[in-house]
Amino acid sequence: IVLGVSFNMASQERPTFADIFDEDEAQQSFLMSKPTCFLIVGKPGTGKATLGKKISQAWNSIFIEAKELITDHIKRGTDQGNKMQALLHQGLSIPEELVTHLILDKINSPEVAHLGYVLCGFPSLCEEYVKIPQQIELIKNFKLTPDIIINIKCPDTDLGKRLCGLKQDPNTGIIYQREDWDPALKEKQKKQQVGEEGEEEEEEEEEELEEEQEEEMSLTEKLVYRPEDFPENVKERIKLFKDILLRPVEDLMIDHDPHYLIELDGNMKPQKIFETVLSRLVSLGLRLGSVVMKLQNSEEEETLQETDTDQLLRLLASSSMIAPRYRWRRSRWGQTCPVALKEGFIKRGLVEFAVSFLDKMYLMSSEEALRKFMQNPRQYLLPPMPLPPCKVAVVGPKCSGKTTLCNFIANKYAGKVLDMSVLIKPFAEEAKKNFIEKAVEEATELAIKTVRMKLQEERILKEQDKPEETEGIEELEYQKEMPETLAAEVLEEITADHPEVLEIVAEAVRAASETPVTITPDLYMAALEQAINKLHEKKKK
């Protein structure tokens, strides 16, 4: 017995050379992790938006900036975009309240919950809607708070010179710095870069320089200064930042973890600034955003639709590989759509909606499911998924607590209660209504016949009681024709509105209302099927 116990205990120990890496735990850890979020602050015109775009592209994050959001909404034709476009056409400015709501909605969007964000231009210098301290509190209370704060520093004099040298192309909206449009500065930079070269190369360069100078002259003639880049306006913007925003931003950076605070020299070139940030981020060991990629194009879809299941999955595994010999692996969902399964449906995925995420491939069932999965796949892949939809039937005798138990289960697991006693009511009322209508129809027809016969008998009796006025053949002919004439008159007089008919019909309606209607099993099935179909339609929306 002792040996048996020791053997069982030894068998439960982990083998020495076993791989302790658990792939499911690693994937679950990633799906439950917080995406990396960035906040870029600094004086106006220090290049926050330029750096933010580059970081968002390199880190697969969502770039959030007021101007970008406004442009995106106008392009997509949303309700907010149409409202902002109408204001701009009228020459009005967009309210700060609307811009703030755009930023907050984007931060709380599904794609940001998956990929994280790079936020620029917030907190804002404008205090029309939210004061600076409240804006700082909003940042601290974000659902996804910033992990990295990047502060771009630049002396006032250097920043003023740079901003005063900016010009804009009115046709394209592109902004050029002084070294991009000033021929004297460009010539000086080229002389510094070019060393001693041969005469032939100098002649070729002179020809190229002449062509470039012509292009630069045509470009320079089109460029204009923006009002905000006038020297007096630049000084006012910098002074306003230092007066109302610098101190709250510094307090925010003081409260932040210094290991995740990056301060940069704004006098460096934009590319150099980006490389500095990238090297610092790599040293911090932060995780990049994982993007969902579509696997198929239109040409491959036609060839794969005719193949069987196993061959289909093998072909998908080798499409759009990120590196040689690294094929996409099959997931536990197989060909089932993860989005539909999460919503309570079992739907087969389609080839044209095949995607890859992490190291696995998934098949979506529709364009809408594909859009939802590409925005944020985490909510569809987290445990306990893949789990088929659960349907529970609670039965028992009357007054045993079936309804109470159903409500408890539904509240606990966010389910929907289908109570047959409630679902059958509309069908029972409809059946009762049809039964009464049929009873009225039958009673009306029978009442008309009954009243006719009654009136006909009364008139015949009255005619028989009258003394005989004629004799012979004429009297006999009159007696033969009299019942037919009398019946025709009665037929014309008796209708459904006759008082006696109405009285008989009312009695029939009263009796039909008191008679219980037997509900057939088909009605129960129809009520349950209708409720399930409505539930499916509601989930699809």
Q: pLDDT by residue (tens digit) across 433-459?
A: 888 888 888 888 888 888 888 877 877
What average pLDDT is seen over the chain? 81
**Span 427-431, average pLDDT:** 85
Across residues 17-23, what is the average pLDDT?
A: 65
CB 219: neighbour CB atoms within 10 A? 14
Q: Is the separation of the CB atoms in 365 and 348 below 8 Å? A: yes
**217-223: average pLDDT:** 72
Q: Which residues, at least 6 apart from 271, have a Cβ–Cβ distance to it below 8 Å? A: none
Q: Is 77 exposed, middle or buried (0-12, 13-18, 19+ CB in 10 A)?
A: exposed
Comparing C-alpha atoms, which of 410, 331, 422 is closest to residue 377? 331
At 199, is the pLDDT very low, low, confident or very high (cuts 50, 70, 90)? very low
Q: Which residues pair with 151 in a beta bridge?
A: 41, 263
The label of the residue with tokens 């205990």 reads 9
- State the pLDDT at residue 511: 84
What distance in Å separates the CA atoms of residue 170 and residue 223, rounded to the nearest whole number? 7
Helix/strand number for the chain, H first, E second: 25, 11
The pLDDT tens digits for 120-145 are 999 998 888 899 999 999 999 999 99
Please return the burial class of 216, using the count of CB atoms within 10 Å of its CB with bins 0-12, 13-18 and 19+.
middle
Does residue 203 carry a pLDDT above 60? no
209 or 407: which leads in pLDDT: 407
At 392 the pLDDT is: 85
- pTM here is 0.70
Q: For the chain, what's the residue count?
A: 541
Read off the tokens for 70.
């406004």
Burial of 394 (0-12, 13-18, 19+ CB in 10 A): middle
Amino acid at 334: G
* Sequence-distant (≥ 6) Cβ neighbours of residue 116 within 8 angstroms: 35, 36, 37, 38, 59, 61, 62, 144, 147, 289
* Cα–Cα–Cα angle for 372, 377, 381, rounded to 5 degrees: 125
Q: What is the mean pLDDT of residues 379-391?
A: 85
SS3 362: strand
Sequence-separated (6 or more) residues with CB below 8 Å from residue 296: 304, 316, 319, 351, 352, 354
Range in 119-123, 387-391, 393-397 the model is least confident about? 387-391
pLDDT on residue 6 = 42
* 431 compared with 380, residue with greater pLDDT: 380
What is the identity of the amino acid at 363? L
Residue 421's pLDDT is 82
pLDDT score recorded for residue 5: 42
Q: Identify the structural domains of the chain with CATH numbers, from first to last.
A: 32-166+227-284 (3.40.50.300), 183-224 (no CATH), 293-381 (no CATH), 420-532 (no CATH)
pLDDT digits (tens, 9 = 90+) for 295-318: 875 555 555 555 566 777 788 888
